[in-house]
Structure 1
Amino acid sequence: MASEKITELEFLLSYDILKQLTGTMERTGCSAADIIEQALRQFLSARKDGNAVYLSAPINALVEGLYVENTTIAEVRQHGDFGLGTFNYLDGEMLLLDGRVYQIRSDGHVYDVGDDERSPFACVTFFSPDTLDDINGDSGVSDLATILDGLIPSPNMLYAIRVDGIFSSVRCRAASRSENYMPLVEATRDQSVFDFHEVRGSLAGFYTPAFMASLNAPGFHLHFLAEDRRRGGHLIDCTIKEARIGIQHVPRLDVGLPVTLDYLTVDLTRDIGEDLEKAEK
């Protein structure tokens, strides 16, 4: 039997990954090569079998005003290279695109985010579209919702959605930094609103079935980032000139439950539907 061919690879690791790798080597006695090979096999198998949407916490905790959790951006990125969310103290909108995390603050500026920053809520996946569709002609956000409704085969499935194109206009908002425990409907009452015209960029987000409303925002939830990576926010309205829509069908949902005193003691039995709709609109 012919011996298996071995290929040598050289690559750079971020400090946090290197620290985790070193710790695992010390704990298990395995070599770096063995651990990396095992991790790659697990990753490639997961990609082949279908990715999950990962929620760092159920959204009803955010609606009730829990804006401080211990989930780092490094942990979020372990679960996806695409998605959205927010940051501790509700400090702006999060957008994860092509593996890079952006923070869109209420001052209208976009900031790069370090792995040690923390988030009370993030929704991510590894994006690999199952379908790609091109649209042309001016389409408003209501038309976009209609188009997307026609592209998803069932309202009972999770979908990751990316729209890349040219927009005649985009209206976005960004949450302002808020004190912990202030209900979301109050914290989002006065938000910064931004209007962009004749802009090229990307929409990224998800469709979540209505029956998952206590876990994630139901319906379509999209954030915008301009191609120059200097403008963006939570999508309110837009008019699309031309764009390509990528949709990924995601058959599994993984939910993190924070182990913090605030989360363990908060009452999450209230129906948050009305408050969430007001905050999201």
Structure 2
Amino acid sequence: MQPENDILFISAPVNALVEGIFKADTTIGEIRQHGDFALGTFNQLDGEMVMLDGHTYQVSGKGDVSPVADDVHSPFAIATFFRELSRDDVAEGFESVDDLFAKLQDLLPSQNMMYALRIEGRFSFVRTRSVPRQEYYRPLVEITRNQPTFERTDVQGSLIGFHTPAFMSSLNVPGIHLHFLSDDLAFGGHLLQCRAQHATVRVQILRRLRMDLPTSLAYLTADFSRDTADDLAEAEKEQAPCGQVQVHGGKDK
């Protein structure tokens, strides 16, 4: 039976992550039953997740990229079986992440639909972040205020992610959310900033949603009545430099 390729799978509502529920029983193997293209994080916020072409990678809080086994757990992931419906060349490139987002928005038929996005090219500059493993509870927004960031120049790679309508903001990050993975599998993370002279944008429309709800005691007894929109927006954006910055060296060979 062929997988359905117009469904967005969400393993848990993003509000649970914002409110500090960093552990769940969902495994990478279970997530792969719902897609071959995903982003998210791992239990105890142990780095950033990138799943591309069915292979899952962890970008650690030190910036290292490593493959992930199917028995590893995740508190939050979004996934689909990526099958592009359109492909566009951005011949003029983009000068910043804001410029990229504006160009992506112009390519989307409606802001009220969900989309999977894959942007491939040679990037003159990319800045990403990851989150170190958390042993003790702290709010997500507080953790990301001291996020380690990583930079690389002249790198071939892919941005993978999703566009989610604003009215779904309690379920997933609203707007465009992207992670980066270099072709050499040596650099990646949550996208903060980028530049490229040329890129190819592949878009898939997702018109159906499936979401699992956790059954842990922490989730069942949590209070989700608070409006977390501001916290989520701050956690997703680039912060003023206050943590470590690592430059991943050199050009691709």
Instruction: Output the TM-score relative to the length of structure 2.
Output: 0.91
**1:190 pairs with 124, 146, 157, which one?**
146
Question: What is the aligned-residue RMSD (CA, Å)?
Answer: 1.0
Superposed CA deviations along residues 107-140 of structure 1, whole A, max 9, x for unmatched, are: 1110110011000000000000100001123412
**2:52 pairs with 97, 100, 105, which one?**
97
Kindly state the Cα deviation for residue 245 of structure 1 after the two structures are TM-superposed. 0.4
* Structure 2: gaps spanning 5 or more residues: 238-253
Is the 1:161–1:246 contact (alpha carbons within 8 Å) kept by the matching residues of 2? Answer: yes
Whether 1:130 and 2:53 are equivalent positions in the alignment is no
**2:33 matched to which residue of 1?**
78
For residues 179 and 192 of structure 1, what CA distance do their matches in structure 2 show? 17
Is the 2:28–2:73 contact (alpha carbons within 8 Å) kept by the matching residues of 1? Answer: yes
SS of residue paired to 1:182: coil
Kindly state the Cα deviation for residue 51 of structure 1 after the two structures are TM-superposed. 2.2
SS of residue paired to 1:116: coil
For residues 219 and 173 of structure 1, what CA distance do their matches in structure 2 show? 19
For residues 222 and 196 of structure 2, what CA distance do their matches in structure 1 show? 41
Amino acid at match of 1:103: Q
Correspondence list, 1:172-251, <5 A: 172-179=128-135, 181-251=137-207
For residues 61 and 119 of structure 1, what CA distance do their matches in structure 2 show? 12
Superposed CA deviations along residues 212-269 of structure 1, whole A, max 9, x for unmatched, are: 0000000000000011001011000100121110000000111110111111110111
**1:153 matched to which residue of 2?**
109
More contact order relative to length (CA 8 Å, sep ≥ 6): 2
Amino acid at match of 1:264: L
SS of residue paired to 2:99: helix
For residues 137 and 147 of structure 1, what CA distance do their matches in structure 2 show? 10
Whether 1:275 and 2:239 are equivalent positions in the alignment is no
For residues 151 and 138 of structure 2, what CA distance do their matches in structure 1 show? 27
**1:57 matched to which residue of 2?**
12
Kindly state the Cα deviation for residue 175 of structure 1 after the two structures are TM-superposed. 1.0
**2:21 matched to which residue of 1?**
66
Amino acid at match of 1:242: H
Is the 1:172–1:233 contact (alpha carbons within 8 Å) kept by the matching residues of 2? Answer: yes
Is the 2:93–2:199 contact (alpha carbons within 8 Å) kept by the matching residues of 1? Answer: no
Larger radius of gyration: 1
SS of residue paired to 2:173: coil
**2:241 matched to which residue of 1?**
none
Kindly state the Cα deviation for residue 180 of structure 1 after the two structures are TM-superposed. 5.0
Superposed CA deviations along residues 154-192 of structure 1, whole A, max 9, x for unmatched, are: 000000000011101001011111135321111212111
Kindly state the Cα deviation for residue 83 of structure 1 after the two structures are TM-superposed. 1.2
Hey, which of these two has a bigger chunk of helix by percent? 1
Is the 1:68–1:180 contact (alpha carbons within 8 Å) kept by the matching residues of 2? Answer: no
Superposed CA deviations along residues 40-65 of structure 1, whole A, max 9, x for unmatched, are: 2xxx2x53xx4210000000000000
For residues 143 and 103 of structure 1, what CA distance do their matches in structure 2 show? 27
**1:88 pairs with 43, 51, 62, which one?**
43
SS of residue paired to 2:92: strand
For residues 196 and 8 of structure 2, what CA distance do their matches in structure 1 show? 27
Kindly state the Cα deviation for residue 201 of structure 1 after the two structures are TM-superposed. 0.2
SS of residue paired to 2:91: strand
Instruction: Output the TM-score relative to the length of structure 1.
Output: 0.82
